[in-house]
Structure 1
Amino acid sequence: MQASMDTVRNFEIRLLELNPRGDSFVLEVDKLVESVPPSYQASLIPAIFRFFEKYPLEDCGAPGTLVHLTEHFYPSYKGILLESLARAPSLNALLMVNRVLNSNLSEQEREEYFSALRGVAERVDIHQSLANQASRFISYQSQRVTDN
């Protein structure tokens, strides 16, 4: 158990030291993720969302390694995703919600994700580009549902 906690803590420390604007970010994050044994990777998800929250406007290679790693554990990260979006919206969390909405969901689940997007679109305390992106995803997904 302690080894697992140390691995996750070390991952987060190293992740938060990375600069998502740097030219070598994609390679560095790939190496970092590869350094964590697969059996521990699900435990990295909260740290990944904290990183997205720290850099809300950065695409981090979108979708990139961090999004792909997280999505591998769908739907177990749903609560963390929605909490992160409500707490501190980020481009990557918005992208992930949009990607989830591209899949087959129950009407209840679809509404839950739409509600999260609407919540971001209506916020005035965040960077306008995030609210605008949420609005674009709402429009896209609304049209997609209408077309199907």
Structure 2
Amino acid sequence: MVRQIADIISDLKIFCMEGDYMLRLSKLTDELLQAKNKEEALPALFGILEKYPEEELGSPGPLVHAIEKCKGYEKALIYSLDRRPSTLGIWMLYRLLKKRSDSEYKEALRKIKINPLSSEQMKEDAELIAEWLKIN
């Protein structure tokens, strides 16, 4: 039986990186992808990235796969990167920029490099992406 989206979102909001967290995250995102209106969970999904901005949550992992299967995630990603840059968020932005060199995505990349919440590694990653994609 598929749980209600509100219940899945509640569990995403209290997600923490204790114990077998990758298994729990994988189960939650699998459930989410079966639910109607999965896009309602985007704030909670990005909330995990913002709560754990430099943690290893897969390469790209279940969280990124779930986010990328939600309609409209691109705008939500940009807002998330403005609030709290994250390593996986930067990686998703890179994937978007490879597909389409949109000015909004380029601006999001530029903002990462000057955001005081960006770690030095995130700033370096943003700079490397700009170099790879020849973005000024």
TM class, shorter-length: 0.7 to 0.9
Q: 1:114 aligns with which of 106, 115, 122?
A: 106
2:131 maps to 1:139: yes
C-alpha contact 2:94 2:129 (8 A) present in aligned 1: yes
Q: What CA distance in whole angstroms lies between the structure 1 residues aligned with 2:8 and 2:25?
A: 15
* Structure 1, 92-101 or 30-39: larger mean CA deviation: 30-39
State TM-score, norm by structure 1. Answer: 0.77
| Identical aligned residues as a percent | 27
In the other structure, the counterpart of 2:80 is 84
1:26 positional shift:
2.6
Q: Is the 8 A contact 2:85 2:117 kept in 1?
A: no
2:92 maps to what in 1? Answer: 96
Structure 1 residue 32, shift from structure 2 partner: 1.9
Correspondence for 1:52 among 34, 49, 52: 49
Contact 2:54 2:87 in 1 (8 A): yes
Question: Letter of the aligned partner of 1:122 in structure 2?
Answer: I
TM-score (norm 2): 0.83
- Give the number of aligned pairs: 131
Instruction: Give 1:11's aligned amino acid.
Output: L
Q: Are residues 65 and 125 of structure 1, via their aligned partners in 2, closer, same or farther at CA, if it must alter by over 3 Å?
A: closer
2:61 counterpart residue number: 64
Quote the RMSD (CA, aligned, Å). Answer: 2.1
**Bigger radius of gyration:** 1
Q: 2:13 — aligned with what?
A: 12
Q: 1:125 to 1:11 in 2, by over 3 A?
A: closer
Distance 1:125 1:47, change over 3 A: closer
- Displacement of 1:138 after TM fit? 1.1
Structure 2 residue runs without a partner (length 5+)? none
| Contact preservation (8 Å) 2:5, 2:38 | no
